[in-house]
Amino acid sequence: MQRVYKVLSFFCDQIITDILIAELSNIGFDSFLITENGFEASISLEHFDQKILDELIDSYSSLGSITCRSNQIREKNWNVEWEKNFQPIVIEDQCIVRAAFHKIKNKYPIELIINPKMSFGTGHHETTYLMIQNQLNTDHEHKRVLDAGCGTGILSVLAEKLGAEKIIGFDMDHWAYENSLENINLNSCHRIEIVEGKIEKISGQHTFDLILANINLNVIIEDLNSYYKLLSPGGILILSGFLVSDLNTLLNCIEDLNISLIEQNSRNKWMSVCLKKDK
């Protein structure tokens, strides 16, 4: 029996588009398509909650006009949709992110093959781009790495290609969990373990030299103490998924932690920071 999907068409500015895509991905929406005036988002009808959606839209209405229209469709071939809309992306002339169906002429030092399907994280969004940029400039050799909210598994795959000894990624979304496993296999990775669930599944089991978290600001703040406890002395915490205007809010939250800001970068109003736990 074909599944039925709720498809929402959002009409809004680019900055609101970026925020809503990140937020909707955390409440069950599993396919996104950028349009000329906003974006489309899809969710299985059985998981759709109008009240939660209304509350989310209302919470960001102060940023500008948000119009939403909806309709229902039966399941389609998502791979075909991605083939029409997902193009390769090159980061810092060092790393190319492509899907398995792309034919690439130029060679780059690092190649990441990502079939995103319904997961969020292909390198096209500013925050994923920033995370990859930071990883390319961070020593991974023989390090233990945690990928928090791993999505497609793109950061975990890059960590292995950069020489990490062991990578553990986790995501509470079942589709993201399965998509990460698929992308790990596509890239012939052997040092990555993916866990389905929240950070509580990881806490107390290991410490890490490097923690990667490309999530939204609320989740980062909620899990910040857990990141700190899981981070080895001298370890690096790389965060993204929040706006430049949210930087001070984040920095205020780390004031009581024995951790220092060592680098910050921005891209089209989005922000990333690198933090180091003092020894």
**In terms of CATH, what superfamily is 121-277?**
Vaccinia Virus protein VP39 (3.40.50.150)
Its CATH class, for the domain covering 4-76, is alpha beta
Mean pLDDT across 170-181: 86
Mean pLDDT score across all residues of the chain = 87
Name the least confident of 34-38, 61-65, 178-182.
34-38
Q: What is the 3-state secondary structure (H, E, C) of 142-177?
A: CCEEEEECCCCCHHHHHHHHCCCCEEEEEECCHHHH
pLDDT at 212: 98
Beta strands, E only, 1-52: 4-11, 31-35, 38-44
Q: How many CB atoms lie within 10 A of CB 166?
A: 17
pLDDT 10s digits, 200-217 = 988 776 899 999 999 888
Burial class (CB in 10 A: 0-12, 13-18, 19+), 215: buried
Domain boundaries, the chain: 4-76, 121-277
Side chain identity at 186, as an amino acid letter?
L
The single residue listed with the structure tokens 């410490």 is 207
Tell me, yes or no, if the two domains 4-76 and 121-277 fold the same way. Answer: no
pLDDT digits (tens, 9 = 90+) for 27-42: 888 777 777 788 888 8
Of residues 101 and 236, more confidently modeled: 236
CA–CA separation, 134 vs 131, rounded Å?
5
